[in-house]
Structure 1
Amino acid sequence: MEKFFKLPLEEKNKVAQIPESLEGYGQAFVHSEEQKLDWADMLFFAVFPPAFQQLRFWPANPPSFRKTIDEYATEVKKVSDDIVKVILKNLGEESGKIYEMFRGGVQSMRFNYYPPCPLPEKVIGISPHSDAAGLTLLLQVNELPGLQIRRNGGWITVKPLPGAFIVNVGDTIEVLSNGKYKSIEHRAVVNSEKERLSVAAFHALNFGDTVGPLPETVKGEKVLYKSLEYEEYTKMFYASKLEGKSVIERMKLCV
């Protein structure tokens, strides 16, 4: 991963993003030339199901990249599936239907490179947001602090633990659980001395699925969120800027 981001720009641009797509090398959620960009480079692409893979965005250099990522993604997905199974059991959903939807859902990966910045207090590595997916498994590669989560109106730095994943609940799980699980608003900050690297693996539903509160979560309670086809839900997310929990706020019903 680090080898890729150290390559000359010409080489990295071989897998550059194209208009109307987030996949490839570049920046996340760029909507205009006037927009203030985050202090980061990223590489993003879909991994699973295999039919979703667009290998034009998978670097061929370094040569071991594709094989390594394919193996890593397979193992990370097993971890995510196990966590989803526990969450659904806690919610009382034991039919296996939603679990199978996640098992057959979309897995995508984003590789983040945050270079040192001479004025770190003036920039942000990635703007505050919550993830649209169900679960995100984040690996802080070089164990350098930079991830922060919002809590009680302030920001708390998450201390990296060697070899440990940070598991973020995403907006999809918040909606499915009717608010019993809350998605995590987070951001990345940078420093002036050393680059920071991380890998985020997103685990979501698939086109044809519906994002909405599960019947098991609303027994005797008010339905707090609307239901949307997953395709419409993702369009809404990708059309948005990274602005806190703005997407989940649009999913809430006025009750």
Structure 2
Amino acid sequence: MTGTAHPTAPRLWQRARLHDGRLEFTTPDGLEQALRDGFFHLDRPAGLDLTPGDRFARSFYLPAGDRTHHDPYRGFRHWTAERLGPHQGYYCRDADQTEQFFLEKRWWNTVYPPALAHQATAMRDLALDVLRAVLTHLDLPRDLWDEATGHALTAHGTHTLTFNHFRPDVPRRGLNIHKDSGWVTVLRSTEPGLEAERDGAWHPVDPLPGTFIVNFGCALEILTRATATPVAAVAHRVVRQPPGPGGKPDRFSYALFVDSTLDDSVSPGLFRYEPGTGLHLETGFGRFLDEILHNTYRPDGTGLY
């Protein structure tokens, strides 16, 4: 899949709000269309303060201040995978414009400032509510939800808050073509640049004020592929960010990812569901995640499966 031209008219992505555990879309067929699109806009819940996340996104990569000018949202480059574990902490990508910070929920209260740890938990809860709301519309028996989702709905799940800083002075691609590995992603973005591939063309997924961008991952696509309501995990990318005239601010984003457990003793991996015969193991999740991430960030690959 390579860069094809944008369509002459922008694609209209669906919009919804969460109310009493249900996704309420602004159009009658909004849910069905969103499941096919793989993306939709979700109204931000009242009272969810995004100030800590926005502040961290603009500061995590900067040097820490001194004792008289200490900023708890700066100076996080030393939190690396060597200290935190695989796929965790600060990364500066050679093939992309991004430098990133990944952190699973078990580290939130240790590493993040307290206000950001609180926001991360609120975004995690919102993402899990979205996943539950989607599952109610699938032909998947409720008593299989925990097993089918690799216990992502419980404390065993892998829940990660990830930050992206795009450096327009670096002459590289923005962020490579990929699909998210897991179940649901809730993205905070305020600038254009994200694109999704549908029907052989790349379509912008521009942010709407007061909303998150939600997309579905490979785990949900694999689980539902043989069902009456398949859910699409759509390839997406961030286009190269050009240097801005007049000191235009860099592009930032951050996202809460809901993935299956990485503990093989809790779940063996990703399943597909076939009505009449039940769950069938497709692959181990840890290996699948490693491959997706490796192929996303290598110079000559794409994070697809």
TM-score range, shorter chain: 0.7 to 0.9
Instruction: Quote the Cα distance in structure 2 between the aligned partners of 1:14 and 1:27.
Output: 12
Report what 1:83 is aligned to: 130
Q: Verify: 1:229 aligned to 2:284, yes or no.
A: yes
| Matched-pair contact (CA < 8 Å) for 2:296–2:303 | no
Report what 1:186 is aligned to: 236
Q: Relative to 1, partners in 2 of residues 1:85 and 1:54: Cα closer, same or farther, differing over 3 Å? A: closer
Alignment of 1:55-204 (within 5 A): 58=111, 65-99=112-146, 101-104=151-154, 105-117=157-169, 123-140=172-189, 143-178=190-225, 180-189=230-239, 190-193=241-244, 194-204=249-259
| Matched-pair contact (CA < 8 Å) for 2:180–2:217 | yes
Instruction: Quote the Cα distance in structure 2 between the aligned partners of 1:162 and 1:11.
Output: 29
Report what 2:45 is aligned to: none
Instruction: Quote the Cα distance in structure 2 between the aligned partners of 1:155 and 1:172.
Output: 23
Output the aligned Cα RMSD. 2.9
Structure with bigger helix share is: 1
Q: Relative to 1, partners in 2 of residues 1:103 and 1:188: Cα closer, same or farther, differing over 3 Å? A: same
Amino acid at match of 1:146: G
Higher deviation after alignment, 207-216 or 236-245:
236-245
1:206-231 CA deviation, whole Å, 9 max, x = no partner? 12323111243xx49xx9x9612333
Report what 1:26 is aligned to: 91
Instruction: Quote the Cα distance in structure 2 between the aligned partners of 1:83 and 1:12.
Output: 30
Amino acid at match of 1:191: P
Structure with bigger strand share is: 2
Report what 1:14 is aligned to: 78
Amino acid at match of 1:24: G
| Matched-pair contact (CA < 8 Å) for 1:88–1:94 | no
Instruction: Quote the Cα distance in structure 1 between the aligned partners of 2:252 and 2:271.
Output: 34
Report what 1:251 is aligned to: none
Report what 1:43 is aligned to: 101
Instruction: Quote the Cα distance in structure 1 between the aligned partners of 2:290 and 2:95.
Output: 21
Structure 1: gaps of 5 or more residues: 29-35, 59-64, 248-255
Structure 2: gaps of 5 or more residues: 1-55, 66-73
| Shift in Å, 1:24 | 1.1
Instruction: Quote the Cα distance in structure 2 between the aligned partners of 1:27 and 1:131.
Output: 19
| Matched-pair contact (CA < 8 Å) for 2:96–2:176 | yes
| Shift in Å, 1:147 | 0.9
| Shift in Å, 1:8 | 5.8
| Matched-pair contact (CA < 8 Å) for 1:88–1:99 | no
Amino acid at match of 1:213: R
| Matched-pair contact (CA < 8 Å) for 2:127–2:256 | no
1:147-195 CA deviation, whole Å, 9 max, x = no partner? 1111222211111112311111000000111261110211112132130
| Matched-pair contact (CA < 8 Å) for 1:185–1:244 | no
- Percent identical: 21
| Shift in Å, 1:239 | 4.2
* Aligned residue pair count: 219
Amino acid at match of 2:272: P
Instruction: Quote the Cα distance in structure 2 between the aligned partners of 1:130 and 1:215.
Output: 23
Q: Relative to 1, partners in 2 of residues 1:188 and 1:239: Cα closer, same or farther, differing over 3 Å? A: closer
Instruction: Quote the Cα distance in structure 1 between the aligned partners of 2:207 and 2:225.
Output: 30
Instruction: Quote the Cα distance in structure 1 between the aligned partners of 2:104 and 2:232.
Output: 25
The TM-score, its normalising length taken from structure 1, stands at 0.74
Q: Relative to 1, partners in 2 of residues 1:246 and 1:158: Cα closer, same or farther, differing over 3 Å? A: closer
Q: Relative to 1, partners in 2 of residues 1:135 and 1:166: Cα closer, same or farther, differing over 3 Å? A: same
Q: Verify: 1:240 aligned to 2:289, yes or no.
A: no
1:6-36 CA deviation, whole Å, 9 max, x = no partner? 33699443223439832111236xxxxxxx5
Q: Relative to 1, partners in 2 of residues 1:228 and 1:25: Cα closer, same or farther, differing over 3 Å? A: same
Amino acid at match of 1:27: C
| Matched-pair contact (CA < 8 Å) for 1:139–1:199 | yes
Q: Verify: 1:213 aligned to 2:282, yes or no.
A: no
Higher deviation after alignment, 1-10 or 199-208:
1-10
